[in-house]
Structure 1
């Protein structure tokens, strides 16, 4: 296992979710059967991030993935990611109010789980 990396800045985390979200979108389009739970949760968070940063609410995210919060909460629970589970367990209005305050901790937790998944694969 590699040494832990220093924490990323919020800007770096924003870049990370955009880049990984795009990679998962491509994977879902061409090889959906190969998408693992960590990647699907990245997609859920990418959808929320997209909606909040571009529309200021979750409607654009829900337009992309109707079962977004239920699926995000289920995946986060299965992966034992409490910060992610807490975000996806909120009501729509609470996510809209708290997303930016929660983003850094949620994205950092997911990034760590994603990196662990990649390490297990190699």
Structure 2
């Protein structure tokens, strides 16, 4: 039975796989796509748990800049800027589904 995951569940589950790989092998072992998902997971975690980006500094301070660099380099997530989306909790939630769906669509192409 192949049930499609909702975006929030996908980010949590795929993000967990990426976090485990990062913990075992280091950030250098992650593919560009895995790094982008990890960065997005860090941003999501911070906003969902604190309502701000403050937790990024404790988890992965480079999350936003690395996300932008890798997404730009690989032509992913061009619909909107991660800084704009993560600038407020409201903007983040308003755009989460579209943004996450776009990231998921990349996964099917790689």
TM-score above 0.5: yes
| Residue number among 22, 27, 35 corresponding to 2:21 in the alignment | 27
Q: What is the aligned partner in structure 1 of residue 49 from structure 2?
A: 54
Give the alignment partner of residue 80 of structure 1, picking from 75, 83, 100. Answer: 75
Query: Could you give the per-residue CA deviations for residues 13-44 of structure 1, whole angstroms, max 9, x where no partner exists?
Result: 00000001110011111123431000000001
> Are the equivalent residues in 2 in contact too, given 1:87–1:99 (CA < 8 A)?
no
More helix by share: 1
Structure-2 residue corresponding to 1:68: 63
Shift of 1:56: 1.1
TM norm structure 1: 0.76
Cα RMSD after superposing both structures: 1.9
**Where do 4+ consecutive residues of structure 1 move more than 3 Å?**
none
* TM-score between the two structures when normalised by the length of structure 2: 0.83
C-alpha spacing 1:95/1:69, structure 2 compared with 1 (3 Å): farther
Q: Which residue of 1 aligns with 2:31?
A: 36
Alpha-carbon separation, structure 2, partners of 1:95 and 1:40: 23
Structure 2 CA distance for partners of 1:97 and 1:114, relative to 1, 3 Å: same
* Aligned counterpart in structure 1 of residue 106 of structure 2, from 104, 113, 117: 113
- Any idea what the Cα deviations from partners look like across 1:26-82, whole Å, max 9, x if unmatched? 111112343100000000111111111111111113321111111111111112120
